[in-house]
Chain A
Amino acid sequence: MLEKKPVLFMLLATAAILVGTIITMAMPFLWVNTDADRIETVTPYTPIQQEGRDIYIREGCNNCHTQTVRPLVAEVLRYGDYSKSGEFVYDRPFLWGSRRTGPDLARLGGKYPDAWHYKHMESPRSMVPQTNMPDYPWLNDTALDPESIRNKMETLGFPYTEEQIKELNGKTEMDAMVAYLQKLGSDIPWRKVAETTIVGDLTNPFPGDASAIAAGKDVYSSNCAACHGDNLEGMIGPALTDMGMEDADLYQVIHSGIPDGGMPGFSNLGSTKLWQLVNFINAEK
């Protein structure tokens, strides 16, 4: 019957297509981005952050980087607290991505100091020698256009001040990119919540052990040298050659980081690697 009536056929096909569409695509609008998943501390992007986000989109960063942390043990350990719906309410479009050629960036904000990002965006391999991330030095060469950014803020309906627009003068696309990266995932106080304290005494398990020192050197090269220099001479972070810290105190700093000083914590390296590192650094002084 249907095989002879194309109009009726097309109406039925449309109906078949619309059932799943309405239930799984349209109905979630009743819950998502409503009071049900609102998070009070989440704020819209400022003009410079929004411009950074638009540059992130223009350069196709989402082709290699995701922006959503799943509630899985290894993933929360590696990147930070898992992502919540209410954190994305100002994201047009969403930038969750589909492939992690590079690491997830949902919790990047506040992990590194600005100087780390400037250097890394200009020349990723100067900090991570084996990375395949392209260089983006030309972002330094283009000045921001305050009026076009004002227009974007108006389109999005995000609040902004004249002061914020004026501050854009003289800023580059690189400044905007770094401002955006530092905002990512930092609207909820997850770092504070995730802070861990070490209980019990810290005793160096391999004091003066040459093989531990050698292993520590490798850990240093791949995790620390980008900021503290190949020979501990200091760059983005301070020199480590003459620290004079007790093993236990040094362990504590590396484990938990210095949140206000821009030093990330390295607890997920595990205690063995951390102690090797401590022995290496303290053997170099």
Chain B
Amino acid sequence: MENPSYNTDIVRSFVTWSLVWGLVAVLVGVIVSFQMINPDLNFGPYLTFGRLRPIHTNAGIYGWGVGTIFATFLYMVQRLCKQPLWSDKLAKFQLWFFNATIIASAVTLLLGYTTSKEYHEMEWPIDIMVVILWVVFAVNIIMTIINRKEEQMYISLWYMMAALIGVAILYLVNAAAVPASLFKSYSAYAGTNDANVHWWFGHNAVAMALTAPPLAMFYYFLPKSTGVPIYSHRLSIIAFWSLIFMYLWTGAHHLLWTPVPDWVQTLAMAFSIMLIAPSWGSVINGYLSMNGQWHQMKENYLVKFLILGITFYGLQTLQGPMQSIRSFSAFIHYTDWVPAHIHMGTMGWVSMISYACIYYLVTRISGRDLYSVPLANLHFWLALVGQLLWTVPLWVAGVLQAGMWNAMNEDGSLTYTFMETMVEMYPFWWARGIAGVIFMIGVLIFIYNIYMTVRKKESAPSTATAEGRA
């Protein structure tokens, strides 16, 4: 039975807002994808690709991604610690401050207040808001853990604590800047140093915000959904420590062949390859946890999302190291290959896991059956097809453009001008735009399904044991 003193209201509120920002992220993504096909869709000065693209990425990472992290962590920590939240008031403040921060980010980015650093574009006043937000969140989680009634800390709590520490260090160091005015600052680091610091942040933000938290969710919600425990606790522990140790060395694989010192690049390349092991430690642990349970892939929509999610994590963590090799990077870097890689991670891995968590949370907290399992299945297929139609054509496009950039004539001159290579991208960009629309339809169906589940007047008591079997 649920402990009635657990705070579920706050979880429900964060779910709601992460859905809102998730929809905004996808909608803006679709808009910018069509701006790339037709420049007449840019309406300057505010609605241009250059200003909207950071809103797409930040709404995705901080609104949808972090919003879901807040919802799931606040839910998991109470149950794993057998202890209500340390402070309900702090959590309430966190909710409002979260939305204030996201709105302030969107507005200032539209106005052109930006540091230009990818995934860290917000100017210094908003950086301060983010820091306050994260400290409030971290204190609440850590104090709940310290006051816990369950002595053993489950692996999900490990990943949660690492994420809390990691994000704090990364964000604070990369945010260092000297303000010139209220909405303009200059980085504390210059040129090559700034680049190296930034991609140490950029790559590890992926580790600490978009890898560790979804793994925390996966390790908790997979056993909850299937009803059988995780295959190996020991494997998860080995994977955990090697993951958080190795990740921090790899940022410079975003900077191969640039003026960043060669040895930094070489270390980044080597550690990126080594990262395959801990990443696949979690993938294999997930797969082996399904021993004897594979039939649930048919019967349980939650398992579908979770297992496809961990599968794309596995593919992502093979493709990533491959791209980190100098010779391969020389070919595909700066092409559409890389955005496609990122979108396999965000649409295929993080979002799939988040969808499963939210379906689980909503049915569990409301104590109701999901409004429509067929609609959840439809959502699954739209998310999967949308993601594949996004990524696969752009991998092809990346290889095509890289090949054309490098093509040389017998006399040593270049075969193609830049524009001749760019116009070849248009058909692939159409595929991406359409894929985005398909993915967005999936999100709309998802939101509709969640809405119909919670709004039902007559609350029929749940017959399914909140495990998604309906």
Contact A132 B192 (CB under 8 A): no
Query: Is B169 interfacial (CB-CB < 8 Å)?
Result: yes
Query: Is A4 interfacial (CB-CB < 8 Å)?
Result: yes
Contact A151 B180 (CB under 8 A): yes
A132-144 vs B, CB cutoff 8 Å, 1 = contact: the mask equals 1111111000000
Interface residue total, chain A, C-beta cutoff 8 A = 89
Considering the complex, which residues of chain B in the window 244-270 have a beta carbon less than 8 Å from any beta carbon of chain A? 244-252, 254-255, 257-261, 264, 267-268
Contact B44 A60 (CB under 8 A): no
Q: Residue among B187, B259, B335 with the most chain A CB within 10 A?
A: B259
Contact of A21 among B39, B44, B200, B422 (CB under 8 A): B200
Q: Inside 8 A of A37's CB, which chain B residues have their CB? A: 192, 259
The smallest C-beta distance from A211 to any residue of chain B, in angstroms, reads 18
Contact A125 B39 (CB under 8 A): yes
Q: Residue among A3, A92, A133 with the most chain B CB within 10 A?
A: A92
Report Cα–Cα, A193/B190, bound state, in Å: 27
Query: Is B101 interfacial (CB-CB < 8 Å)?
Result: no
Query: Is A206 interfacial (CB-CB < 8 Å)?
Result: no
Query: Is B462 interfacial (CB-CB < 8 Å)?
Result: no
* Known A-B contacts A23-B267, A100-B335; A63 and B54 likewise in contact (beta carbons under 8 Å): yes
Contact of A60 among B54, B196, B258, B412 (CB under 8 A): B54
Segment at the B interface, from A5-13, A111-119, A162-170, A184-192:
A5-13
Contact A270 B187 (CB under 8 A): no
* Known A-B contacts A19-B248, A33-B192, A94-B191; A64 and B153 likewise in contact (beta carbons under 8 Å): no
Query: Is A283 interfacial (CB-CB < 8 Å)?
Result: no
Contact of A13 among B36, B53, B244, B338 (CB under 8 A): B244
* Known A-B contacts A20-B247, A25-B196, A98-B334; A88 and B406 likewise in contact (beta carbons under 8 Å): no
Query: Is B363 interfacial (CB-CB < 8 Å)?
Result: no
Question: Interface size for chain B: under 10, 10 to 19, 20 to 34, or 35 or more residues?
Answer: 35 or more
Contact of B191 among A19, A91, A272 (CB under 8 A): A91
Contact of A135 among B44, B151, B417 (CB under 8 A): B44
* Known A-B contacts A77-B414, A131-B419; A92 and B187 likewise in contact (beta carbons under 8 Å): yes
Considering the complex, which residues of chain A in the window 55-71 have a beta carbon less than 8 Å from any beta carbon of chain B? 57-64, 66, 68, 70-71
Segment at the A interface, from B158-166, B308-316, B369-377, B445-453:
B158-166
Query: Is B98 interfacial (CB-CB < 8 Å)?
Result: no
Report Cα–Cα, A226/B420, bound state, in Å: 15
Query: Is A101 interfacial (CB-CB < 8 Å)?
Result: yes
The smallest C-beta distance from A109 to any residue of chain B, in angstroms, reads 16
Query: Is A93 interfacial (CB-CB < 8 Å)?
Result: yes
Q: Inside 8 A of A125's CB, which chain B residues have their CB? A: 39
* Known A-B contacts A17-B169, A21-B248; A89 and B161 likewise in contact (beta carbons under 8 Å): no
Contact A20 B419 (CB under 8 A): no
Considering the complex, which residues of chain A in the window 17-65 have a beta carbon less than 8 Å from any beta carbon of chain B? 17-21, 23-25, 28-29, 31-33, 37, 54, 57-64
Contact of A134 among B49, B192, B194 (CB under 8 A): B49
Q: Inside 8 A of B112's CB, which chain A residues have their CB? A: 58-59
A89-131 vs B, CB cutoff 8 Å, 1 = contact: the mask equals 1111111111111111000000000000000000011001011
Contact B259 A25 (CB under 8 A): no
Report Cα–Cα, A148/B184, bound state, in Å: 11
Segment at the A interface, from B113-121, B128-136, B385-393:
B113-121
Contact A89 B191 (CB under 8 A): yes
* Known A-B contacts A151-B180, A222-B419; A77 and B413 likewise in contact (beta carbons under 8 Å): yes
Report Cα–Cα, A89/B181, bound state, in Å: 22
Q: Inside 8 A of A172's CB, which chain B residues have their CB? A: none
Closest A residue by C-beta to B164:
A10
Closest B residue by C-beta to A223:
B417
The smallest C-beta distance from B284 to any residue of chain A, in angstroms, reads 21
Contact B259 A33 (CB under 8 A): no
Contact A20 B249 (CB under 8 A): yes
A67-81 vs B, CB cutoff 8 Å, 1 = contact: the mask equals 010111111011000
The smallest C-beta distance from B285 to any residue of chain A, in angstroms, reads 17
Q: Residue among B50, B53, B192, B194 with the most chain A CB within 10 A?
A: B192
Q: Residue among A3, A9, A95 with the most chain B CB within 10 A?
A: A3
Contact A85 B191 (CB under 8 A): yes
Contact of A17 among B37, B153, B165, B180 (CB under 8 A): B165
Contact A28 B196 (CB under 8 A): yes
Query: Is B241 interfacial (CB-CB < 8 Å)?
Result: yes
Report Cα–Cα, A10/B169, bound state, in Å: 13
The smallest C-beta distance from A126 to any residue of chain B, in angstroms, reads 12
The smallest C-beta distance from A182 to any residue of chain B, in angstroms, reads 19
Contact B423 A130 (CB under 8 A): yes
The smallest C-beta distance from B253 to any residue of chain A, in angstroms, reads 11
Closest A residue by C-beta to B196:
A28
Contact of A98 among B165, B254, B257, B259 (CB under 8 A): B254
Report Cα–Cα, A71/B166, bound state, in Å: 34
Report Cα–Cα, A98/B117, bound state, in Å: 11
Query: Is B193 interfacial (CB-CB < 8 Å)?
Result: yes
Closest B residue by C-beta to A53:
B116
Q: Residue among B39, B115, B179, B407 with the most chain A CB within 10 A?
A: B39
14 A-B pairs (CB sep. < 8 Å): A10-B142, A16-B244, A25-B251, A32-B192, A32-B196, A37-B192, A37-B259, A70-B330, A90-B191, A97-B334, A101-B36, A101-B422, A124-B39, A138-B45
Q: Which residues of A pack against B, CB within 8 Å? A: 3-4, 6-7, 9-10, 13-14, 16-21, 23-25, 28-29, 31-33, 37, 54, 57-64, 66, 68, 70-75, 77-78, 83-85, 87-104, 124-125, 128, 130-138, 148, 151-152, 155-156, 222-223, 267-273
Closest 9 interchain pairs by CB? A60-B50, A88-B191, A270-B413, A20-B248, A134-B42, A85-B259, A20-B249, A70-B257, A58-B112
A-B contact sample (4 more), CB < 8 A, given A59-B112, A134-B50: A18-B248, A96-B195, A96-B258, A272-B409
